[in-house]
Amino acid sequence: MAENSYKFRITLKNKLGLHARPASIFVETTKKFKSKISLIRNGKAVDAKSIIGVLSLGVSQGDEIEVICEGEGAKEASETLKNLIERLGEFQ
């Protein structure tokens, strides 16, 4: 993994999963960062800045996902996204 690369795994607790509104909030947040951000579920990786990509993963409550942030602002992106995912239930 590159020096300017951060990743984390997290289990989604949001009862609606990463669908519609929560996915939209997640994607809009990723677009605030210059870093390349990938979202992975069950070995399938997508561009986390793509709403179609994120929705195509079909992330449900209890699924473990991995987020990889690379490049400029990767550490801040990683910290922000981890915090957001932990709070997704608030946006239902």
Catalytic site positions: 19
Helix (H) or strand (E) holding 35: none
Number of H helices, E strands in the chain: 3, 4
Query: Distance between CA 17 and CA 25 in Å, rounded?
Result: 12
